[in-house]
Every structure is written in C-alpha cells, then in structure tokens.
Amino acid sequence: MEEEEEEDEEVKGKLERDNGDSVVKQEATEVECDLRQDEEAPSFFSCPYCSVSFTNFSYLEKHLKWTHRNNYHNWIKNQKTPECIKITSGMLSCSTCHDRFFTQEQLNTHMRRAHLPAPAPIRKRHTCPQCDRSFDYIGNLQNHCRKCHNLSTVCSNGEISCALCGKNFAGIWGLGPHQCHRLEEEHDSHVDGDKPLCTDRGFLCQHCGKNCTTLQCLTIHMRIHTGEKPHVCTDCGHGFKEMGSLRKHMLIHTGAKPYTCPECAKSFARMSHLNTHLRTHTGERPYSCLDCGMTFSHRATLQIHRRVHSGEKPFFCEDCGKMFSTLNGLKVHHMTHNQQRIHKCSECQKTFARPDVLKKHLRIHNGERPYVCTVCSKRFNRVQHLTNHQRTHTGERPYRCEECGASFAQSGDLTKHVRGHTGEKPYACPECDRRYSNPGDLGKHRRTHSGLRPYRCQQCDKAFLMPQHLKTHSLTHTGERPFSCPQCERTFTRAHHLTQHLTTHHS
C-alpha cells in the first residue's frame, strides 16, 4: 500500500510540473510590454525546420513566417492548443464534441442548439387573414391584427370577424388588406410605411431586412435605425437600447465582479470578459488572418492586424492631421500636444505628461534593470530593449525593406533606411537650413549652436560634443594606440592619423 501511495504522489507531482511548464510557455506566448518584475526565465522554442532557437514563442512564429514560408501554414494547422488543467478540471464537458462549459445551463443550451434535432413545426390553428402568420390562441391573433394591421376584430364561436363591417374571416389566410380598410389605408399611406412586414417566420425590418421573431424584438431592433435609447443610467446618464444592456452597465458603478478566473483569481463583471481572458492561459487563438495566416486570441486584435494589409488608418489627430491605425496610437500621440506635464521627477525635476513614462524614467536614477536576458544574463530597464537585444542571439531581422530587400532587427533602423531611398529629411534645424533624416543626428547638430558639451573627461574635465570624441580623447590619458600600421611598427591613437601615414609613407 505504501508503494502505491508513493507512486500516486510521484504521478501527481509530475502532472503539477507539466502543468507549470505549460503555463510558463503560454505566458511567454502572450507577453506584452508590461512590467513583469518577478517573471520566470522563459523557455527556448526551437524551429522544427532548422537549428535556430528562440526565447519567445512570438519570435519563433515570425521566424517561420519569413524564413520557412512554404511550411508556415502547415505548422499553424498542426499546432495543438495547450490546456490548463486547473481550468479544465472544473468545467463540464460535452459528451458529443467534448467542448467545455462552466455551468450546466451553458452545457444544456449547447446540447439543445448543436446536437438535438430541431422539433417538427406544429401547424397553428388560428390564421391571420392579412399575412402568413398563425397562432395557437385566438387572443394572440386578435392582438396581432390590431397591432400589425390596424384591424379591429371580434371573436364569436372560435372565429374572428371585422369589428366594423362584420365580415367573417373563417378560412381566409394571407389575402392582404381587408376591403373596408382600403380607403383609410390609402388616405394614411404614411402610416403604412411604419408598419412591420409580417411573414410566416416573423417580422421583417423594412430598413435592413432583418427577421425578428416577435414584435417586441422588432421594436428593440428599430432603435438601431432611429437611435432611440430609452433606458438611461441614473448615475452617469449613459443611454442604452435594451434594459439588459443597462443592467450590465450598472455593474461598472456597483463594482460587482461575480466571474472569477480559476487560474489566476482575476475577477470580471461579465462572463464574456472571463471567457476572453481564459485564452491568455489556454493559448487558444480562434481568429486567423486570411492574408498571412497569423492567429489571434481576440477578434478586435485581428481587426487591428487587418489594417496592416489594407493600410487603413481610421484615427487622425485633429491638431496636426496625422493618421493612426489604432486608437491607442492616437492617444499616445495626443500627449505630444498636451502641455500639462503634471508628473515631476524628484531627482532631476524633469516633468512628464504620463505616470508610466515617469516610472520608466526613474530607473535611470535608481539603476533598476528588471528585464534579464536568459542567454547572456545582461539586464535592461525596458522590455523593448530586452526584445531588441535578444535578436542579437537569434539573428532575427524581422523588418524588411520593400525597395532593396535589406532586413533590420529594429523598426527604427528600417525607418531610417527607407529615408535613404525616399530622400526624406523631416527633422529641420530651427537655427539654420540643415535638415536630417533622424532626430538623433538633429540633436547632435544642435549642440553646435547651443555650445552644449555633455560628454566630460573625468581626468582633465575637458568636454566634448560626441561620445566618440570623448572615447578618442581618453586614449591620450591611457597611452593606448589601437591603430597599428600593417607595413611598419608605428601605432596611432586615431584612425585618420593611420590613414594619413599610409598615404604619405606607403602609397
């Protein structure tokens, strides 16, 4: 018995370790540019078609897309979605298709819609004389005639007749407007345009042709076209078309979050938000791009990605007219126009418009470098710097020039390179007529006007405009002469001195 218990504990421990490895890999899949102080070292992801390995799953996916294009789509199809045992163990499974659900009600709804045969249509007894609708109860038919056809009826012996002229409608079905209402309907033709179109399947919207099962559903649907929002929030005044939408909105003010993630205990106000969040743990990516095959966890992310192929930029800055493909990009750009810099650094008194930028700036003073390279243990103060550094190990150059095919590890290098083809120099010096293709060159040039020399020698306190000038100057203190003549034994402290020596003595 003791040996069996030890084996059970060993199997359980192995499952827990496997589950932990799956979570770590999936966290690496969905990693963004957020601060992760205590993040574990990511695993390596090997390319199945060559010997290159990556520290991030997204790098492997880009590598396959650009390097092994013929095998990329097959690789996408063969990817298996990892599962979180902690999540799936508490879910109910469908016995037919093995889909999982959180509640019995969701499972019953799925079984009814997906697997149970549709019930045979039952012929209703009471038919409408005006349209193709029929009803189980004669009272429902009378309400239908009054609301949809403006026809008043009376019931006698289980049959209805016109309340004005007394005509009996027994055996009449779908023959159109009643004769005694013909003149009135022609006189009030504007009222006819607002009447719903009745069919045997429901009520059709005259604006878009959508079919609604009930007249109440059609009334709610018409608010999309009219813009009516009768249900108003008493706290913030926000209006809604349906009462159900108002109830969901009220959770924002009450702060109630009844849906909790079983993996990380994060709470949500709506079940749909929880279902979307779970994909960060399971790795599910149900939305794929038809152009390049890339998959995404959220439909909104796919829609934003589609703008890469279409070139669409629907968001524009009202101040300068610059276009953006995402709303977040526009919000960040607005900060450049916002002059309210309310966040101040206590060390250097520098001000910032956003608190997250101040937080990153403070790492310059406190020396914090929370992002560590798993290959060479080099540390960085920003996650984007770590991402760019990792490409020195993987050799990845994801940014390709469409003109000459040159590739680059960073998007900024590609932007500078493209300006070499276009001749664009958007950065102009306000002091003179010089223009530059990147802001770094402009910043160096402006020191010639301001006289600023930020690079100072610690030995003699001499200051320089450029860091390479300081580096060359420091050789005069150390006595180092790194440039040696290949023809003789002379050495030099500067490269141009060696060039002059070769031209004068060895040419």
> Collapsing DSSP states into helix, strand and coil, what is residue 396?
coil
- Using one digit for the tens of pLDDT, what is the confidence trace for 347-398? 888 888 778 788 888 888 888 888 888 888 888 888 888 888 888 888 888 7
Q: Is the pLDDT of residue 35 over 60?
A: no
Cα(33)–Cα(17) distance, integer angstroms: 27
Q: Given a cut of 70, is residue 27 above it in pLDDT?
A: no
Helix (H, G, I), strand (E, B) or coil at 434: coil
Q: Which DSSP symbol is given to 41?
A: P
The residue assigned the tokens 């050789």 is 475
322, 333 contact by CB (below 8 A): yes
Distances (CA, A) of 230 to 223, 227, 283, 293: 9, 10, 40, 43
| The token pair that represents 479 in the structure block | 């006595």
Give the pLDDT score at 11. 42
All structural domains of the chain, each given as residue ranges with its CATH number in brackets, are: 128-182 (no CATH), 455-505 (3.30.160.60)
pLDDT at residue number 167: 82
CA distance 328 to 330: 5
Question: Residue range 212-216: average pLDDT?
Answer: 74
Map tokens 């900024």 to a residue.
412
Distance between CA 409 and CA 300 in Å, rounded? 27
Distance CA 305, CA 156 (A): 65
pLDDT at residue 29 is higher than 70: no
Nearest CA to 438 out of 455, 416, 418, 454 is that of 416
Interval 398-427: pLDDT, tens? 788 888 888 888 888 888 888 888 888 888
Residue 172 burial class via C-beta count within 10 angstroms: exposed 0-12, middle 13-18, buried 19 and up: middle
Residue 153 confidence (pLDDT): 87
Q: Please report the pLDDT score of residue 438 as a whole number.
A: 84
Question: Residue 267's beta-bridge partner residues?
Answer: 260
Eight-state DSSP code of residue 348:
T
Does residue 66 carry a pLDDT above 60?
yes
105 closest CA partner among 118, 115, 114, 92: 92
Q: Which of 28-32, 141-145, 309-313, 329-333 has the lowest mean pLDDT?
A: 28-32
Question: How large a percentage of the chain has pLDDT more than 70?
Answer: 79
Mean pLDDT of the chain: 76
Q: What is the CA radius of gyration of the chain?
A: 36
Q: What does the pLDDT look like over 89-118, one tens digit per residue?
A: 667 788 887 777 777 887 888 888 888 776
Q: Which pLDDT belongs to residue 309?
A: 82
Q: Residue 46 pLDDT > 60, yes or no?
A: yes
Q: Is the pLDDT of residue 52 over 80?
A: no
pLDDT digits (tens, 9 = 90+) for 172-202: 766 666 767 554 444 444 444 455 566 555 6
Cα distance between residue 261 and residue 266, in whole Å: 5
pLDDT tier for residue 77 given thresholds of 50, 70 and 90: low
Strand order of the β-sheet with 197-199 is 197-199, 202-204, 211-212
Q: Long-range contacts for 286-293 (Cβ within 8 Å, ≥24 apart)?
A: 288/76, 292/65, 293/65, 293/72, 293/73, 293/76
pLDDT at 202: 66
Q: What is the mean pLDDT of residues 219-232?
A: 85
Chain segment 436-473, per-residue pLDDT in tens? 888 888 888 888 888 888 888 988 888 888 888 888 88
pLDDT at 2: 43
Nearest to 169 by CA among 181, 161, 177: 161
User: Are 408 and 397 in contact, with CB atoms under 8 Å apart?
Assistant: yes
Residues contacting residue 55 through CB under 8 Å, at least 6 positions apart: 28, 42, 43, 44, 45, 373, 374, 375, 390, 393, 394
Q: Are 159 and 172 in contact (CB under 8 A)?
A: no
Q: Lowest-confidence range among 10-14, 286-290, 333-337, 349-353?
A: 10-14
Which contacts (CB < 8 Å, 24+ apart) does range 433-437 have? none
Least confident of 55-69, 221-235, 314-328: 55-69
pLDDT of residue 284: 80
DSSP tag of 249: H
Lowest mean pLDDT among 71-80, 234-243, 288-297: 71-80
Q: What is the pLDDT of residues 243-297, one digit of tens each?
A: 888 888 888 888 888 888 887 888 888 888 888 888 877 778 888 888 877 788 8
